[in-house]
Amino acid sequence: MSNVDLLSTADQDQSMDGELPSNLNNDINTSQQSAPASTIYYQIEFDVEHIGKNRPQNKRQALWRYCIATSSPGVDDSTTICEHVAQLVWSTHSGKYAIKVDGEEVYSNVAKGSVLEHKWRWDHRNACVVDEGGVQMRILACRKPPTRSSKNFRCYEFLVQGKVYRELPRFGSSASRSDDDAFQNEEREYNQGKLMTILDVIEPGWRAKGYA
């Protein structure tokens, strides 16, 4: 073997013992950068208040507190958690209602009947409604439970990315859903012919699809 061959072999050994070849480093960095971020939506708290001045029941405020956890794959696998609030204020006397997210108005109108519904896409970073991208959201509400409904009928529903708020995992809990026993009871009553939520009225097939 010539001196040139010996030097070439030594250089190769040094390269193997030291840093990875630049093209391999580039492949790893590209793989880390291209790995998609994962997002999980959690429920925190839901509350309804009657806030009318003369007759409290004539004006209602529904609040859904939720958070979004976004994990960014990489060296540190960091997760960002942001809390948000969706709000519906509805005068069942005049029909006027307004929807807000984090205090920013999404939509306002007058409900013509006893049921209201609105769909939109929300950009949480810029706090605005968008036509594309963002998070799909939907609010449905009715003034009172219909006939054939359960005593636990839900007059207010908030959906995030097609998932009912109540079905989202509860933040800080290891359970996949908020209350599995309650869900089993609800399915049992629904199968007995009782309406459980305004979704059962507006979109009867949502349970079979798993989303609405």
Inter-CA distances, 189 with 151, 163, 184, 206, Å: 10, 21, 9, 16
> Global pTM?
0.77
Distance from the first to the final alpha carbon of the chain: 74
For every one of its 212 residues, what pLDDT tens digit does the chain have, with 9 covering 90 and above?
A: 544 443 344 444 444 444 444 443 444 344 444 556 799 999 999 999 999 999 999 999 999 999 999 988 775 778 899 999 999 999 999 999 999 999 999 999 999 999 999 999 999 999 999 999 999 999 999 999 998 899 999 999 999 999 999 999 999 876 555 455 666 678 888 888 899 999 999 998 898 876 66
Cβ neighbours of residue 192 closer than 8 Å, sequence gap 6 or more: none
Structural contact between residues 161 and 108, judged by C-beta atoms closer than 8 angstroms:
no
Distance in angstroms (rounded) separating the CA atoms of residues 31 and 174: 30
